[in-house]
Amino acid sequence: MIQPSQQNTVPKSRIHCTIQSAKRSLARDIGKIAKNCAIDLKLPNPLSIRETVGRSPHVTLTVDIEFALSQHTIWKLASRIASFCPQAGVSTHIVPKDQLPSALNA
């Protein structure tokens, strides 16, 4: 039986997606594409998306080592984002779990 305190908990994302773009509207569109790709791949946790201002469009996926080893679909996600957003660079950063928050602030 699910306890009331457990019903409203959303699993914490283990895929952090930082989108850099000069235009907010482009970053928002790329974010929607990234979320749809993650849903299509049936990734177990939702994406956590952060938009930043920059010159050229770039997507950085940051995941912890354990997740990267257990979920080969993270590589498919990066490939799909690159396919649907050819104007954006796409990179994946693999970090130790305890360094994940600091990696996002970098």
Every domain of the chain and the residues it spans: 13-95
pLDDT in tens, 45-79: 678 888 888 888 999 999 989 888 888 898 999 99
pLDDT in tens, 63-72: 989 888 888 8
DSSP assignment of 42-101: T-SS-EEEEEEE-SS-EEEEEEEHHHHHH-THHHHHHHHHHHH-TTSEEEEEEE-GGGHH
Sign, Cα dihedral of 5, 8, 14, 19: negative
Instruction: Report pLDDT for 104.
Output: 52
- In words, the CATH class of domain 13-95 is alpha beta
What is the C-alpha separation between 79 and 61, in angstroms, rounded? Answer: 11
